[in-house]
Amino acid sequence: MSDEGSAPKVVVVMPAYNAGRTLRLTYEELPKDAVNLVILVDDGSTDATLEVARQLGLEIFVHNRNYGYGANQKTCYAEALRAGADVVVMVHPDYQYDPRLVPQIIAPIVAGEADVVLGSRLKSGSALAQGMPWWKYVANRFLTGVENRVFGLSLSEYHTGYRAFRREVLETVNFTANSDGFVFDQEIIAQVVAAGFRIAEIGVPTRYFPEASSASFPASAAYGWRILAALFWFTLNQRGLRRSRRFDSLRARYTRLP
């Protein structure tokens, strides 16, 4: 965190892929008084994402092709740390999660009560009523139950894209060793748990509409199997049956900029 008495530097990262239609909506609703910098990483978009991002004056980093959601997050977090972030918030630019809740999602970190905060679609209200497909809801409930058992926690959801991290978390966990795909989200949570960091959650509403990103049923099924595999390797590592470098804690790798 910043020096005692000074406000932490909050950096919002946006992992973008073909978000040209929703990026402006998302950015305009960000509470600018709570955010010091917005970084957008474009993962090989073929629409107007970059044009809109430049119009908005965002800090932009561009992948030369579509490497995947996990690869996008790796660049997001690395650049946020290099920019001197104390708190990093991932906000999807597809307008599915409410950007106005950034102050609430960082509050437990700023107060020293948590190291990671997840914005849960299932903590309050009905995700089904908000448009979540029933099969995705059932899979979410099942996988979250398994994850709670494996991690020894009691969270309402692990599969949200709305997340906040204290700087020290991203300096410690080996997130660059994770998948370049969607299972990155669960792999980094496993690393956070293995490193002993504290996880909190807040309830967030969500929107489901054509422009909002949503995986198909086959893609979601494959994602579910990858989560179970990640939990399997986590369990072996925690029991000392098979060590994985993915769970090795790292010393600080990034230097704050003046």
- Does residue 3 sit within a domain? no
Which run of H or of E encompasses 43?
strand 37-43
Instruction: Provide CB contacts within 8 A for 199, sequence distance 6+.
Output: 114, 115, 116, 117, 118, 153, 155, 189, 192, 193
- Does residue 66 sit within a domain? yes
pLDDT in the model for residue 2: 58
- Does residue 256 sit within a domain? no
Q: Is 4 exposed, middle or buried (0-12, 13-18, 19+ CB in 10 A)?
A: exposed
Q: Which of 199, 9, 188, 191 is nearest to 116 (CA)?
A: 199
Check: CB of residue 58 under 8 Å from CB of residue 38. yes
What does the pLDDT look like over 29-67, one tens digit per residue?
A: 999 999 999 999 999 999 999 999 999 999 999 999 999
Which run of H or of E encompasses 7?
none
* Cα gap 96→99, rounded to integer Å: 9
What does the pLDDT look like over 150-166, one tens digit per residue?
A: 999 999 999 999 999 99
* Cα gap 55→231, rounded to integer Å: 42
- Does residue 33 sit within a domain? yes
- Does residue 254 sit within a domain? no
Helix then strand then coil, in percent of the chain rounded to 5, is 40, 15, 45
- Does residue 5 sit within a domain? no
- Does residue 205 sit within a domain? yes
Q: How many domains does the chain have?
A: 1
The CATH number covering residue 165 comes to 3.90.550.10
- Does residue 151 sit within a domain? yes
Range of the domain at 200: 10-240
In tens digits, the chain (258 residues) has pLDDT values of: 655 568 999 999 999 999 999 999 999 999 999 999 999 999 999 999 999 999 999 999 999 999 999 999 999 999 999 999 999 999 999 999 999 999 999 999 999 999 999 999 888 666 666 667 767 788 888 999 999 999 999 999 999 999 999 999 999 999 999 999 999 999 999 999 999 999 999 999 877 655 555 566 677 788 899 999 999 999 999 999 988 889 988 854 555 655
